[in-house]
Amino acid sequence: MDVYIKPKKKVTLSERAEIVIKDVAEVVATKEVAAKINKMQLIKLNNNAGKKQNHLVSVTDIIAAIQYTYPNATINNVGEMDTWVQYRVTRSRDVTWFKWLKIAFVVLVLFIGSSTAIMSFHTDGQMPQIFEKYYSIFFGEEKTNPALINIPYSIGLAVGIIVFYNHFMGKKLTDDPTPIEVEMELYDRDVTDTMVDALSQRKERMQERLKNGDINGST
């Protein structure tokens, strides 16, 4: 009997008493076998801890759980080798006002920071003097802060930012990922890889201590 599993890189759970195979991996087998495998327990969660928990589920843990019930099954892994399971405690209190307060704070910081960066760049690049020089070249007269150039430039700057970030009024202009989405995806991938490595090392140390008889228990 062939069983195909596709473990995920990261999963986030809440309000759970245990982690089962369907939480961390997709299973392809006959309907009856897949239903039974999906319900197999991997880790018992401590819901009384009252805080966020991080667990590592290796593909070997999944294979061992399946082979315990189906010793003659041929298990094929087509996904990740390790899965970071993040267990979050659900809080019942309403924090809507706090969420909007954080959004307002972030918007204010971004507005001040971006405007300061643009003005600093223009000052370092001497953009006002450049515009005045352009006006003198094309119109043959000296003028301070020529609106004929400043206004189209300001509009063009806003349009350029909108096109670059691919967002306007909460809507995407195209289906392509925005630069922020790309950077966030790379950041999330780096965080996940780092967390998997850290949990893997912790699990290895725990298993070594168990092997040496230093502690009793399991990860």
Tokens read off for 107? 């918007």
Average of per-residue pLDDT values in the chain: 82
- Nearest 5°: phi and psi at 143? -150, 135
pLDDT of residue 102: 87
| Tens digit of each residue's pLDDT (9 = 90 or more) over 152-199 | 888 888 888 888 877 776 677 777 777 778 888 898 889 888 988 888
pLDDT of residue 108: 93
| Tens digit of each residue's pLDDT (9 = 90 or more) over 28-49 | 988 888 999 998 988 887 766 5
Residues 2-87, CATH architecture: Sandwich (2.60)
Question: Residues 208, 209, 211, 212: what is their CA dihedral angle, to the nearest 10 degrees?
Answer: 120
Residue with tokens 């965080």: 191
Domain with CATH 2.60.480.10 in the chain: 2-87
pTM of the model: 0.62
Q: HEC profile for the chain?
A: CEEEEEECCEEEECCCCEEEHHHHEEEECCHHHHHHHHCCEEEECCHHHCCCEEEEEEHHHHHHHHHHHCCCCEEEECCCCEEEEEECCCCCCCCHHHHHHHHHHHHHHHHHHHHHHHHHHHHHCCHHHHHHHHHHHHHCCCCCCCHHHHHHHHHHHHHHHHHHHCEECCEECCCCCCHHHHHHHHHHHHHHHHHHHHHHHHHHHHHHHHHCCCCCCCC
